[in-house]
Amino acid sequence: MTDFLPFTRPTLDEATIAEVVAVLRSGWITSGPKVAELERALAAYLGGGRQVRVMTSATGGMEMALKAAGIGRGDEVVVPAMSFAASANVVVRVGARPVFVDVELRSRNASAASFEAALTPRTRALMPVHFSGLAVDMDPVNALAAARGLRVIEDAAHAIGTRYRGRLIGSFGDIVSFSFHANKNMTTVEGGALSFADPALALPLDRERFHGITKDAAGNVDVFDAGGKYNLTDVAAAVGIGQLRRLEEFNARRRALAARYHERLAPRLDPDQLPPAGDDGHAWHMYAVLVPFARLGTTRDGFVAAMRARGIGLGVHYPSIPGLTYYRQLGWDPEAFPNAARIGAETVTLPLFPAMADGDVDRVCDALLELMQR
């Protein structure tokens, strides 16, 4: 019987597991030397003289970043309509208003032109999302922000290791948030990181990460803000250190698997059903295709079940944010963002993770094409 192929699976080597065991035996398992080591390693990897802070999730990181940037009630942040709900949720949670823009159908990325068209006098920040590890065209986005005095908070949850014009995402720009969730290109089980250049952000981020606390040289504690609690553990950081060592290897394998998907599917599917072929800078967090379920006389649930019956797991990344109940209740019309609406209705995510064999891609493509010919 053929083994079940999930849509993703983390790769954890024995050296990383041994490091985790060593941390557990050390007696210091919460935030400590391993967190500091991971932050130094990430800063060295990204380059560009960046400061890095790690935390319990990219969602927490983006919320911390918005607060540190002074964004709150009465402000607006421009957000792509196609992303994970967290991209908009964090804006709401700080009291600001997400303003949605549509995305390009194949890349799932928003453009500087779409951001500019959504600006109002209340706009304080732009939130480009590097969907599936494909870099947004950042130069015009950053130029727009500089001209209008706006912050740029990049949702790079999918983009650790992505390169834009030869530069790593996170090595430049304003504030960049990465995710290290279990399904990402590298993981800390749960976790995330912020990369930033502005030294003025360090203190508010450090305070927000741990209860608003500041300690003096003697260890005396004071609280200057009603901070949250987002500190990463040393156990999680040990996983991240091992993962970062292999990140370039992982991403190279992801690119090879994505290229095989494209080779198999491009001759058989319409171009707008597939993501762009990408380049050497694309980290390939996911490979998502559009399936015209109604035309095939099925539903997404039925299609996913049919693939599962063939031993293949699919994901759904993502529903359109304006189509979610909460945002419809806030007055957003999902049909105002037709590309995001179509993606949300037709998308399925194919298996993609470094341990896959080329034959696994062929197996997925054979099953997918068989079901789409019915």
The residues annotated with a catalytic role in the active site are: 184
What gap in Å lies between CA 40 and CA 35, rounded to an integer? Answer: 9
Please, which residues bridge with residue 125 across strands?
A: 77, 151
**Rounded (10°) CA dihedral 350, 352, 356, 357:** 70
C-beta neighbour count of 198 within 10 angstroms: 12
Q: What is the DSSP letter of 104?
A: -
Residue spans of beta strands (DSSP E) within the chain = 51-55, 76-80, 97-101, 123-126, 151-155, 163-164, 167-168, 175-179, 192-196, 213-215, 221-223, 287-290, 347-350
> How far lies 75's CA from each of 18, 116, 120, 126, 330, in Å?
47, 16, 10, 12, 16
- Residue 277 token pair: 């072929």
- 238: alpha, beta or left, given left = phi > 0 and alpha = psi -120 to 50? alpha
Sequence-ordered list of residues with C-beta below 8 angstroms from that of 147, at least 6 positions apart, any chain: none
Encode 9-49 in three state secondary structure: CCCCCHHHHHHHHHHHHHCCCCCCHHHHHHHHHHHHHHCCC
